[in-house]
Amino acid sequence: MKTFKLISLDVLEDKQKDIVQHKIPLLDGLIINREDDKNHWVLEAYLDKSYLVYFNEFHNHNEPIMLQAKITKESNEPATFMSTVIDVNEIGDHINVLFIGTLVDRKKSLIEHMLKTLIEEGHQGEKLLEEFKERI
């Protein structure tokens, strides 16, 4: 297992075909590559207690949550994870939230999303290919 510093954390929510990004202010955090056969990562976020209800909702409903995390330093590109909340703990005026998730290939996901959108817009055949090339 390898452990890294979690620098930033965003929750990505799907709202009516748009992705809405919620920046979660970290007090501290870690990210652990479990290096298992399922490519699992564990993220621990130490946060203000005001986020207790928000993350308990995900935990209580075992609802998947998409996260974007910067690892080690602010200048790094964010990594995207499809996760679930495995625990939320109160620690005085703060909480820690534990997530387990898998790394998402963002480039592949973005391309799939773009193709789906183009198809939904009615593009087909050569027109689909032309529009795809133009948008890339």
CB atoms within 10 A of CB 8: 16
Mean of all residue pLDDT scores within the chain: 88
More confident residue, 36 or 96: 96
pLDDT tens digits for range 75-99: 998 898 999 999 999 999 999 999 9
| Domain 2-104 listed as CATH 2.60.120 | no
Beta strands 40-48 and 28-33, pairing class? antiparallel
Domain parsing of the chain, residue ranges: 2-104, 105-136
Q: What's the pLDDT at 129?
A: 74
Predicted confidence (pLDDT) at residue 24 exceeds the cutoff of 80 = yes
Nearest alpha-carbon partner for 103 in 74, 132, 69: 69
Model confidence at 124, in pLDDT bands (50, 70, 90)?
A: confident
Within its chain, how far is the Cα of 60 from the centroid?
19
- The alpha carbon dihedral of 94, 98, 99, 103 has a sign of positive
pTM: 0.76
